[in-house]
Amino acid sequence: MQRIYRFINANARRPRGLMGRFLGWLWAWESRAINDKAIALLDLESGDCLLEIGFGPGETIRRVLARYPGLRVIGIESSDLMLKLATARNEDAISDGRLSLRKGASGVVAELGEVCTHALLVHCLYFLDDLQQTCERLSGALKSGGVLVIAAVVTDAEIPARFMTPAYNFRSTAEILAALETAGMHAEVHQDEGGTHGALRWFRATKP
Ligand SMILES: C[S@@+](CC[C@H](N)C(=O)[O-])C[C@H]1O[C@@H](n2cnc3c(N)ncnc32)[C@H](O)[C@@H]1O
């Protein structure tokens, strides 16, 4: 069983091929409630500019663009397959100039400058190896008063065994909060009171 988990989790880090397509289909609905809570915490308004890292199949981008008519989105993703799926899902917004999808990782974030009002990472932090550098680059992409929301499974709660393979680099709540604070942001943590998402936390950080 552990070999199957390794294969699936390696694909979650670098989705490609048939398994990547399956995961893209799965994530579009499986992580919807988690993304919904993250979007609520972002507190977006039309006219804002949202940066999403690791957007997967682009379903959250599609829904957020439909909900906030004047919103602009910049998406950054390392997987060619996910770029393709998200492009197909959001063709109109790309041609209207409301959406820009770019291939890359946090290095691309570093090149943006302070252009975004909001930033979002859902189930992606584990794949970004340098936590402190990631938080600093995200802070660097936000304007003053900008809001960052990270949704991630944390080590100080019980993580399901299927995720315990080398593909995931989980951190504790304290580590993530400390990295956000060191990056100059004020951070708070939220959890699901209903207990459905046991080990998941939503971090909301604001740039002064
Ligand atoms: C588990 S999926 C989450 C997708 C989406 N955020 C969601 O909530 O359904 C993680 C995504 O992060 C992407 N990813 C992994 N490493 C990345 C990196 N270094 N930079 C940008 N994206 C990355 C993967 O390609 C994958 O699409």
Closest atom of ligand 1 to 52 CA is 6
Closest atom of ligand 1 to 82 CA is 27
Q: Which residues form ligand 1's pocket by a CB distance below 6 Å?
A: 12-13, 15, 27, 31, 35, 53-56, 76-79, 82, 105, 122-124, 127-128
Q: What is the pLDDT of residues 133-188, one digit of tens each?
A: 999 999 999 999 999 999 999 999 888 888 888 899 999 999 999 999 999 999 99
Does residue 73 come out as left (phi exceeding 0), alpha (psi in the -120 to 50 range) or beta? beta
User: What is the predicted pLDDT for the residue at 106?
Assistant: 85
Count of CB atoms situated within 10 Å of the CB of 26:
13
Q: Give the range among 5-19, 29-43, 72-86, 188-202 with minimum mean pLDDT.
A: 188-202
Count of CB atoms situated within 10 Å of the CB of 35:
23
CA of 146 to the centre of ligand 1 (A): 22
205, 147 Cβ separation under 8 angstroms: yes
**Which residue is closest in CA terms to ligand 1's atom 14?**
54
Closest residue by Cα to residue 137 from 182, 83, 189, 186: 182
What domains can be seen in the chain, in order of their start residue? 2-206 (3.40.50.150)
Choose the residue to mutate in 9, 11, 74, 77 for probing ligand 1, maximizing ligand atoms within 8 Å of C-beta.
77
Closest atom of ligand 1 to 27 CA is 9
User: What is the predicted pLDDT for the residue at 194?
Assistant: 63
Q: What HEC string does 121-149 produce? A: EECCHHHCCCHHHHHHHHHHHEEEEEEEE
User: What is the predicted pLDDT for the residue at 42?
Assistant: 98
pLDDT tier at 55, thresholds 50, 70, 90: very high
Q: What is the pLDDT of residues 73-132, one digit of tens each?
A: 999 999 999 999 999 999 999 999 999 999 999 889 999 999 999 999 999 999 998 999
Bridge pairing between strands 200-206 and 49-53? unpaired
CA 83 remoteness from chain centre? 14
Contacts of 51 (CB under 8 A, 6+ apart): 73, 74, 75, 76, 109, 112, 116, 118, 119, 120, 138, 141, 142
User: What is the predicted pLDDT for the residue at 198?
Assistant: 80
